[in-house]
Amino acid sequence: MAHRRTRVKSWLPVLLFIGGAVAAAVYFVENPGSAMAARVLTYDHLATLAAQHVGMVVISSLLAAATALPLGILISRPRLRLLGLVLENLVNIGQTIPSIAVIALSFTVLGLGFNTAIFALWLYSLLPILRNTYAGIISVPPGVREAAVGMGMRPWRILLRVELPLAFPIIMAGIRTAVVVNVGTATLATFIGAGGFGHLIVTGIMVRRLQLLLSGCILSALLAMLCDHLLGMVEEKVKTSA
């Protein structure tokens, strides 16, 4: 019962925010305030932008998880501790490069469009996932690992049954961070012709139309919030089923 109540409570602000954001978006579409904003703020166009934005975030995040998880596990092996330290520091430095620079650099090599945006977002979200996977596994107390060895578990089983489950919350935190940051970074993809909610924001700034700017911001915030919450639900589900 108590469990259920906390769940309802955690949903409430999210529901309120979603409701508010959707209402705001609808309000702006119905009252664009100028012909220029009206040209951009149609339900059709918003759906296209949403599909582009969600597409970029989902594909790049999945690819990032698929790359960074195995890599994180690999460098957490005792034999590769040294490499782990080097890589972790590289990762820390990498994260200090501004996201717009990552997109701009990818553009100079790969050219325009959706694929370049995916590549840049993938690169940028590798880092939190890799770091958290590594940190999560490293943080498993040596005693626990020794106990598993003592029970005669093979390394693979130790990884799957002991290390990963114990590291899971930390890994998930990394994935959630990566995805939420990704939603924000994807607003920059409009500079290289990949669309997304950034289109509304940049156009809004260029032609000084607050309705465009705000609807872009609100919709990307909404998406970030939704992604984070969905991943939170997945995390809960996995935890309870494990």
Q: Does 51 bind another protein (CB under 8 A)?
A: no
Q: Which stretch binds another protein (CB under 8 A): 14-22, 115-123, 148-156, 163-171?
A: 115-123
The site for another protein, by CB under 8 A, has a size of: 36
Q: Does 72 bind another protein (CB under 8 A)?
A: no
Nearer to another protein, 118 or 183 (CB): 118
Q: Tell the smallest beta-carbon distance from residue 203 to another protein (Å).
A: 4
Express the helix, strand and coil content of the chain in percent, nearest 5 each.
85, 0, 15
Q: Does 40 bind another protein (CB under 8 A)?
A: yes
Q: Does 192 bind another protein (CB under 8 A)?
A: yes
Contact 103, 120 (CB under 8 A): yes
Nearer to another protein, 192 or 229 (CB): 192
Gyration radius of the chain's alpha carbons = 21
Q: Does 113 bind another protein (CB under 8 A)?
A: yes
Q: Which stretch binds another protein (CB under 8 A): 2-10, 21-29, 176-184, 185-193?
A: 185-193
DSSP 143-171: HHHHHHHHTT--HHHIIIIIIHHHHHHHH
| Residue appearing with tokens 């578990």 | 153
Reported as type and span, the H/E element at residue 234 is helix 210-241
Contact 223, 197 (CB under 8 A): yes
Q: Tell the smallest beta-carbon distance from residue 67 to another protein (Å).
A: 5
| Residue appearing with tokens 């700017």 | 213
Calculate the alpha carbon distances from 170 to 26, 163, 242 in Å. 37, 11, 16
Q: Does 151 bind another protein (CB under 8 A)?
A: no
Which residues make Cβ contacts (< 8 Å) with residue 204, sequence separation at least 6? 37, 210, 211, 212, 213, 214, 215, 216
By CB under 8 A, name the one of 93, 207, 210, 230 that touches another protein: 207
Which residues make Cβ contacts (< 8 Å) with residue 131, sequence separation at least 6? 72, 88, 91, 92, 174
Q: Does 202 bind another protein (CB under 8 A)?
A: yes
Nearer to another protein, 189 or 229 (CB): 189
Nearer to another protein, 81 or 239 (CB): 81
By CB under 8 A, name the one of 191, 214, 217, 225 that touches another protein: 191
For another protein, the binding residues (CB under 8 A) are 35-37, 39-40, 63, 66-67, 70-71, 74-75, 79-80, 82-83, 107, 110-113, 115-116, 118-119, 122, 190-193, 195, 199, 202-203, 206-207
